[in-house]
Amino acid sequence: MQRVRRVWTYAYDKFIRHALKFGVVGLAGYLIDVGVFNVLRLDWLGDGWWSDPLGAKFVSVTCSTIATWFGNRYWTFRENRRKNVVLEFVEFTAIAVVGLGISLGCLWVSHYVLGFDNLVADNISGNVIGLVLATLFRFLLYRYWVFSPKRADGFAALQEKERLAAEAAVLGLPPQTVRDV
């Protein structure tokens, strides 16, 4: 039983906790994405490039990406957020753009290739199938690249460097040798 508890604790600390928080932030992003998409598709903000299926999806994903960056930076991965906010946001956005491409690809195939050109089909292809595939892709890259605990400019890494430097000072050693002691 102790071994199971240790495995669960390790899995929870390293993966499950982040996945659950990512899911909550993602749900908020999903509601923003679907809400904005449908408002634009129903022409509530007028007719234009943004009311076309691909334009509406582009705008809705852009809005949800900005919201989810804040949620992931300050809640989901807060201990691994980076000191270089601009680089973090650029990397986050690059992954979101690829995720957008996955969602748009699903929507494009359904709407223009397969001919399922009604609002329900657009929602299923873009907001269900595309969303599931894009979310899996984004979670893995956000967790293990953008907000990786191994990033040198992440707050966790900087705190670890400060801790090692403090230990080295106490021991009278150069900071890089404390890890080996």
How far is residue 156's CA from residue 8's CA, in Å, rounded to a whole number? 22
Tell me the DSSP string of 56-85.
Answer: HHHHHHHHHHHHHHHHIIIIITGGG-BS-H
Q: Which segments in the chain show pLDDT lower than 70?
A: 152-162, 164-165, 168-169, 171, 173-181
Tracing tokens 């904005």 back to the chain, one arrives at 36
Max intra-chain CA distance, the chain: 72
Predicted confidence (pLDDT) per residue in 146-176, tens digit: 988 777 666 666 666 667 667 766 767 666 6
